[in-house]
Amino acid sequence: MVKVILLRERKIVDISFNGPIRELLPLVEYSLETAVVLKNGEPVEEEESVGDGDEVKIVPVVSGG
């Protein structure tokens, strides 16, 4: 199980998933354009794999002007 922390929603979900970040994000209704992802506390790229025991924190991107 991957522990996914959704900061905007203030929610934690456990997802059975093994694969790259780019495939995990749509499962929690995010995209690479709308979020920064931390794996076990470190920023990661879209190709980075996650799996059992990993903690993924999804930080929504804020823009404005």
Q: Is residue 23 part of a domain?
A: yes
Total structural domains in the chain? 1
Q: Is residue 65 part of a domain?
A: no
Task: Pull the structure tokens for residue 18.
Answer: 């093994």
Residue 24: which domain range? 2-60
What is the pLDDT averaged over residues 25-41? 94
Whole-number pLDDT of residue 62: 79
CATH assignment at residue 54: 3.10.20.30
Distance CA 34, CA 52 (A): 24
Helix (H, G, I), strand (E, B) or coil at 59: strand
Q: Is residue 46 part of a domain?
A: yes
Q: Is residue 12 part of a domain?
A: yes
Q: Is residue 32 part of a domain?
A: yes
CB atoms near residue 18 (< 10 Å): 12
What is the pLDDT averaged over residues 29-49? 94
Sign of CA dihedral 11, 17, 23, 27: negative
Average pLDDT taken over every residue of the chain: 94
pTM summary value: 0.89
Q: Is residue 53 part of a domain?
A: yes
